[in-house]
């Protein structure tokens, strides 16, 4: 798979297939895992952070093997999914930090280009989420709204 904004090749990141059920050494029950996910979500953790916490502290190799769905799917099923997807939020946060840096360092042309590339990724992702129905059709990205949403 090629990189988005460069002429480099990237890597395919091949991974072994995931088993259909949880390994024998994992003794986490479905109900216990659901309670833990909801507790971590209520504490303000993002889905990726929940997955890392489950892996590192609770010894859960994969929520998909135990629950039959991923963390985001579980949150969506319980109607506590965030309004803006996590990847879009992270890109908007990155663009906001680069914009603040550019305001402080006017002659930094390399980061001006990085801001253009990041905001282009945001617009492309917004278009995808509009088409998939994840975002409202009238939601648009602008640096001002991103600052309000992120702060």
Cα distance between residue 121 and residue 93, in whole Å: 12
pLDDT of residue 1: 46
Cα distance between residue 104 and residue 149, in whole Å: 22
pLDDT of residue 128: 96
Low-confidence ranges of the chain (pLDDT < 50): 1
pLDDT of residue 9: 78
Cα distance between residue 134 and residue 41, in whole Å: 19
pLDDT of residue 2: 62
CA 58 to centroid of chain Cα atoms: 21
Longest dimension (CA), the chain: 58
pLDDT of residue 53: 96
């Amino acid at each position: 798979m090629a990189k988005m904004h460069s002429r480099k090749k990237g890597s395919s990141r091949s991974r072994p297939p995931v088993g259909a059920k949880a390994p024998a050494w994992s003794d986490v029950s479905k109900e216990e895992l659901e309670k833990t996910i909801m507790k971590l979500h209520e504490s303000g953790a993002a889905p990726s952070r929940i997955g890392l916490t489950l892996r590192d502290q609770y010894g859960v190799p994969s929520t998909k093997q135990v629950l039959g769905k991923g963390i985001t799917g579980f949150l969506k099923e319980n109607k506590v999914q965030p309004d803006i997807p996590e990847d879009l939020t992270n890109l908007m946060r990155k663009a906001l930090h680069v914009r603040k840096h550019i305001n402080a360092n006017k002659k930094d042309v390399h980061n001006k280009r990085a801001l253009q590339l990041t905001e282009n990724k945001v617009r492309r992702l917004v278009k995808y989420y509009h088409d998939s129905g994840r975002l409202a059709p009238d939601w648009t990205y602008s640096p001002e709204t991103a600052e309000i949403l992120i702060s």
